[in-house]
Amino acid sequence: MDTTAETRRNRGAMSYHAGLSAEERISTDYERRGFPIAQRRWRGIRGEIDLIAHDGDGLVFVEVKQSSDFDRAAARVSLRQMKRLYASAEEYLGQMPNGSLTDVRFDFALVNALGEVRIIENAFGHGGPIAPKGKLRHLMGNSI
């Protein structure tokens, strides 16, 4: 067997399991703080959302990133991923009674190599980082 391919496969498996562990740790943290988890690894046509939590009548869409330290974990969130998360959230909200008028928040949940957690609430909004809590239509402008 090609050792390069085997090494890549092993790294991929380790990353996959580390990601599952990080998501479980984050979901436990949200539930402990009073945000029940509605969905884990929700997958739609437009992509996957790591966690979706209830926040009263609203929802929190959570992107979980795990790395050796918080800075590296945060750096792993790209503009492309933010756009995918928005598109997936729009798709998910299509199933909700209030649709895109549902109050939403987009959080980054970071986990370092020690298993420590850092939550960045309202991590980004349409057009850049840090948007106030609000309606998805407001965050996305007229593009939805």
pLDDT classification of 125: cutoffs 50, 70, 90: low
Rounded CA-CA distance 88/47 in Å is: 6
Are residues 130 and 94 in contact, defined by beta-carbon separation less than 8 angstroms? no
- Predicted local distance difference test score (pLDDT) of residue 142: 36
Does the CA dihedral 135-139-141-144 come out positive or negative?
negative
Three-class SS state of 85: helix
132: pLDDT strictly greater than 60: no
Residue 144 exposure: Cα atoms within 13 Å on the Cβ side: 21
Q: Predicted confidence band at 15 (pLDDT cuts at 50, 70, 90)?
A: low
Q: CA end-to-end span of the chain, whole Å?
A: 49
CB neighbourhood size of 52 (10 A): 21
pTM, two decimal places: 0.78
Contact yes or no for 47/85 (Cβ under 8 A): yes
Digit-coded pLDDT (tens) for 37-47: 999 999 999 99
Q: What is the CATH number of the domain that holds 100?
A: 3.40.1350.10
Query: What's the pLDDT tens digit per position in 60-113?
Result: 999 999 989 888 888 888 888 889 999 999 999 999 999 989 999 999 999 999
Q: Which domain does 27 fall in, by range?
A: 3-143
Total domains in the fold of the chain? 1
- Fill in the amino acid letter for 10: N
- pLDDT band of residue 17 (cuts 50, 70, 90) is low
Rounded CA gap, 130 and 122, in Å? 6
